[in-house]
Amino acid sequence: MTTAIGLLGDWVLARAGAERGWVEASLAELAAGAPERALHIFLGLAPRRLGKGDLALDAAALAAAEAARPGWRPGGWSLDGAARVLGLLSFRGSRPFAETFKDLRRTADVAEMIALYRGLPLYPGPEALDFEVGEGLRSNLRPVFEAIAHDNPWPRDHFDQHRWNHMVLKALFVDSPLAPIIGLDERANPELARILIDYAEERWAAGRPVTPELWRPVKPFAALPEIRAGLERARASGHMEELPA
Amino acid sequence: MSREMYIDPHAHMISRTTDDYEAMAAAGVVAVIEPAFWVGQPRTFVGTYVDYLSSIVGWERFRAGQFGIRHYCTIGLNSKEANNEELAEGVMEWLPRFALKEGVVAIGEIGYDEQTPLEDRYFRAQIALAVELDLPVMVHTPHRDKKRGTSRSMDVCEEMGIDPSKVVIDHNNEETVAEVLQRGFWAGFSIYPSTKMGNRRMVELLKLYGGERIIVDSACDWGISDSLGVPKTARLALESGIAEETVRAVCYGNALAAYGQSGQIAEADWLDPPAIDQRTLFEGNSVLRGGREPVIEAPGAARRGKLEIE
């Protein structure tokens, strides 16, 4: 089985065209203990040299990604984003990974921030990245939030219940779909179901609709008295036709 | 007649509201360039300056995209804050990190304020950085002792070996423009009430000099200024009989040519945005998509006339 970094290398090099030599030389330099400035330059030049096209992976590549890191779904990745994650993973710096990551995130442009967060499932020492991930979730830039929340197994694997629940709630707040959240069913919990019913009632009071997706993490708890009562109110007020079993 | 498109190549959008973005988009502004500058009061920590630079390469770019306007920026240490040596040294260390970010079209706005030795030192250091990174430069010319300060800015550019075709000398007026054009630099004009240029005066200059290497901007910021400076000047110029191609050059094409030398701004960005950008960064300009004629309406006018808030 090819490792995640091996797959990224294959995909980027296959699409690098005339820049193949530059990518190979840069990665070798980064792996051989180059100063952090070399990493900054590689990350800055990646979209300029490789373009910002879609990685456009086929089914076999996506299956290989799943095998290398369960839950890793690079289907929506761009070429420059993949190259940036590859560069970061290849880099052997003098500081711990999390410190380098923090520094990169502080100065990142939007596309860089998306790439940095999409790469989360591939990084070493996930516990040290907790604060940085929280900063990304709090971002007002929806695509940055989605780089963490969507098609990314990191929240399922590492978030405590409080952070998980607030990620789902924020997704609803910013009109971001729930379906691409990995672990939406596995991590459903009664507290989240209660929060979502409260949220739906707030929306209805303001005359605003809610997405039907909201019910997916609620339904498994339909038998609990507090949740049942909320669902009954939804039906009584005409917001729900049929109660879930 | 084809729909007009405008670029405002000098706009401090970080100080403006969503009303401004809506009005600019409706008036046909497709792209803005946000020069790094001071924010109305001095920063006293390097970190606040770094976060400011991070805002203009990230958050503000995203915010503009939600209104269908493409946002670019320039990165630099401004002349006022260059006088705080401790701050300046710290900021200079961070600049190379930001200069290669997506959408950074120049080093700027840099130059002189009081024409002090510290201002001179950091002006030169930043021109050297622009030469090293092959980026254009946006020069802020001083408000006081302007004529001499403008000449001196161009002397320094020449001494530092940057090609005048890569340098926009901004905030010109009737007294400075002839020399700027004669020496081969781009000449920017900021249509900014009271202190810089008025657009009636601008029209007179266009009659005199034509449109070659002249760039109109609003320089709108936290002061009393007009985010519609470019479209309003375009309309006044057309109504005053200035040729359409001249208006298009000074309100669109010249800025694109000057800052396009960075490789970071191109017409395709708004006419044919990449799919990945459309998904993440750019909602698409409704003027371009819907085929409406641009309308010049005061920022917030539609909202002020409406009693109900939903």
DSSP letter for each residue of B155-210: HHHHHTT--GGGEEEES--TTTHHHHHHTT-EEEEEB-TTTSB-HHHHHHHHHHH-
B75 forms bridges with which residues in the sheet? B107
Q: What is the pTM of this model?
A: 0.91
Residue B290: the pLDDT is 56
Question: Which residues of chain B are at the A interface, by a Cβ-Cβ cutoff of 8 Å?
Answer: 50, 53-54, 57-59, 61-62, 94, 96-98, 100-103, 263, 274-277, 279-281
Question: How far away is chain B from the Cα of A5, in angstroms, using its nearest Cα?
Answer: 23
CATH 3.10.129.10 fits B6-292, yes or no: no
CB A215 within 8 A of CB A234: no
Inter-chain CB proximity A110 and B274 less than 8 Å:
no
Residues in chain B, overall count: 310
Mean pLDDT of B85-113: 96
Inter-chain CB proximity B276 and A45 less than 8 Å:
no
Q: Name the band, by pLDDT with cuts 50, 70 and 90, for residue B1.
A: very low
Q: Is A47 on the interface with B (CB under 8 A)?
A: yes
**Beta-strand pair B186-190/B214-217:** parallel
Cβ-Cβ contacts under 8 Å, B59 against chain A: 140-141
Inter-chain CB proximity A143 and B280 less than 8 Å:
yes
Tell me which of B60-69, B134-143, B294-303 is least confident: B294-303
Alpha-carbon distance values, A217 to A153, A185, A196, A232 (Å): 17, 6, 8, 17
Whether B33 has a pLDDT exceeding 60, the answer reads yes
Q: How far apart are CA B152 and CA B159, in angstroms?
A: 10
Q: How far apart are CA A201 and CA B195, in angstroms?
A: 53
Q: At B251, phi and psi to the nearest 5?
A: -105, 5
Q: Which residue has the tokens 């520094």?
A: A103
* DSSP state letter for B71: E
Q: How far apart are CA B172 and CA B169, in angstroms?
A: 7
Helix A4-15 / helix A20-31 crossing angle, nearest 10 deg: 150
**CB within 8 Å of A72: residues ≥ 6 apart:** A4, A65, A66, A121, A122, A153
Interface size between A and B, measured as CB pairs under 8 A: 60
B214 forms bridges with which residues in the sheet? B187
B109 preceded by a cis bond (ω within 30 of 0): yes
Alpha-carbon distance values, B221 to A42, B39, B110 (Å): 34, 8, 16
Q: Give the residue from B217, B166, B213, B161 showing the smallest Cα distance to B192.
A: B217
Nearest CA in chain A to B263: A48
Alpha-carbon distance values, B27 to A187, B184, B201 (Å): 48, 31, 21
Q: Give the residue from B9, B5, B34 showing the smallest Cα distance to B170.
A: B9
Q: Give the residue from A67, A55, A51, A86 showing the smallest Cα distance to A1.
A: A67
Q: How far apart are CA A94 and CA B135, in angstroms?
A: 31
Question: How far away is chain B from the Cα of A89, in angstroms, using its nearest Cα?
Answer: 19
Question: How far away is chain A from the Cα of B116, in angstroms, using its nearest Cα?
Answer: 30
Q: How far apart are CA A11 and CA A57, in angstroms?
A: 8
Nearest CA in chain A to B100: A44
State in Å, rounded, how far the first CA of chain B is from the last one.
Answer: 37
Nearest CA in chain B to A142: B280
User: Which run of H or of E encompasses B75?
Assistant: strand B70-75
Among A48, A76, A109, select the one facing B57 at the smallest CB separation: A109
Residue B301: the pLDDT is 85
Q: Which residue has the tokens 């079209």?
A: B105
What is the full per-residue pLDDT of chain A (245 aa) written as tens digits? 789 999 999 999 999 999 999 999 999 999 999 999 899 999 999 999 999 999 999 999 999 999 999 999 999 999 999 999 999 999 999 999 999 999 999 999 999 999 999 999 999 999 999 999 999 999 999 999 999 999 999 999 999 999 999 999 999 999 999 999 999 999 999 999 999 999 999 999 999 999 999 999 999 999 999 999 999 999 998 888 777 76
Q: Name the band, by pLDDT with cuts 50, 70 and 90, for residue B279.
A: low
Type of residue at B169: I
Q: Name the band, by pLDDT with cuts 50, 70 and 90, for residue B4.
A: confident
Q: What is the pLDDT of residues B179-236, one digit of tens each?
A: 999 999 999 999 999 888 999 999 999 999 999 999 999 999 999 999 999 999 999 9
Q: Which of B54, B279, B280 to mutate to test the interface with A (most CBs of A within 10 A)?
A: B280
Q: Give the residue from B94, B90, B60, B57 showing the smallest Cα distance to B74.
A: B57
Question: How far away is chain A from the Cα of B96, in angstroms, using its nearest Cα?
Answer: 9
Whether B292 has a pLDDT exceeding 90, the answer reads no
Our measurement of the distance from residue A152's CA atom to the centroid of its chain's CA atoms, rounded to an integer in Å, reads 4
Q: Give the residue from A192, A66, A81 showing the smallest Cα distance to A144.
A: A81
Among A41, A45, A141, select the one facing B62 at the smallest CB separation: A141
Nearest CA in chain B to A114: B280
Question: How far away is chain A from the Cα of B42, in angstroms, using its nearest Cα?
Answer: 21
Mean pLDDT of B118-136: 97
Cβ-Cβ contacts under 8 Å, B103 against chain A: 109
Instruction: Report ipTM for this prediction.
Output: 0.87
Q: Give the residue from B184, B172, B107 showing the smallest Cα distance to B143.
A: B172
Cβ-Cβ contacts under 8 Å, A111 against chain B: 102, 280-281
Q: What is the pLDDT of residues B41-70, one digit of tens each?
A: 999 999 999 999 999 999 999 999 999 999
Q: How far apart are CA B122 and CA B77, in angstroms?
A: 8
CB B53 within 8 A of CB B36: yes
Residues in chain A, overall count: 245
Q: Name the band, by pLDDT with cuts 50, 70 and 90, for residue B293.
A: confident
Inter-chain CB proximity B58 and A110 less than 8 Å:
yes
* DSSP state letter for B251: I
Among A44, A54, A107, select the one facing B276 at the smallest CB separation: A54
Mean pLDDT of B78-94: 97
Q: Give the residue from A127, A119, A134, A118 showing the smallest Cα distance to A96.
A: A127
Task: Please state the domain extents for chain B.
Answer: 6-292
Inter-chain CB proximity B102 and A111 less than 8 Å:
yes
Inter-chain CB proximity A53 and B276 less than 8 Å:
yes
Type of residue at A132: E
**CB within 8 Å of B103: residues ≥ 6 apart:** A109, B57, B61, B71, B72, B73, B264, B265
